[in-house]
Amino acid sequence: ENGLVDFSDLKSKVDDADAVVVNHVSNVTGTIQPIDLIKEIVKDKILIVDGAQGIPHLTVDVEKWNIDAYVFSGHKVGAPYGSGAMFISPRLQSRLKPIGGGESIENVFLKGDRVEPKFQKFPHCFEPGTPSIANQIALGSALKFLDRYKALLESYERKLLKPFFEFASKYNVQYLGGSIEQRSSLIAFKLNAEVALKLAVMGFCVRYGYHCAEPLHHFLKSPPTLRFSLFLYNTQEE
């Protein structure tokens, strides 16, 4: 219920799994998953990590974790919509087969009545067609910018979160997830849509709803929640 993976449950299911997929940080509870411990449990199974909420706020080390894939969207790090990236390990590369055309193909041969493509080497074999060039260049710039602040960002965002926990304690407002030490820089309160509307009028952009995770809300026996997502552009005064 604090948002952490149930390790005993994972152990009971992992033998029958082809792959294990986990989020680095939940966009509902804010909980940071211990990827290194999860890797110990899944052992040689393919481990894919959704890093959309993780990479903007935390240090990511795919080699240390020895995971097979880490995936994230660009707009979470201040890059354009539609941009993003995927790290794929050498082990997973060898198990994937490209299916695309265009730029992913080096040559095409006719062998009798069959068309036989020769694909380019990784990673180009998985990038068919004209890529979103401008957006991806902007993504690179956003990551370089973010890298300047990464060492200070986690502690800075925790300072921004502290008043929210004080507010919850003072007014007995419930929120999803665990303690401030367990989470990244977001918090979802059990407050209604009217609060979101009043904040919007005041110039504060928050999100009300299920946050693309309605089953999780049902599991936690929670109504839709009001989520505050903090980043390096937010201030203590706000």
Instruction: Give the pairing of strands 46-50 and 69-73.
Output: parallel
DSSP assigned state of 211 = T
Assign residue 130 a region (left: φ > 0; alpha: ψ between -120 and 50; beta: otherwise): beta
What is the C-alpha separation between 133 and 35, in angstroms, rounded?
31
Pull the structure tokens for residue 20: 């294990």
CA distances from 38 to 16, 118, 127, 217, 234 (A): 16, 37, 30, 23, 32
Environment class of 44 (CB within 10 Å of its CB; exposed 0-12, middle 13-18, buried 19+): exposed
Candidate list 112, 212, 221, 237, residue with the active-site label: 212
Assign residue 172 a region (left: φ > 0; alpha: ψ between -120 and 50; beta: otherwise): left
Q: Note if 212 is an active site residue.
A: yes
Q: Which residues are catalytic?
A: 212
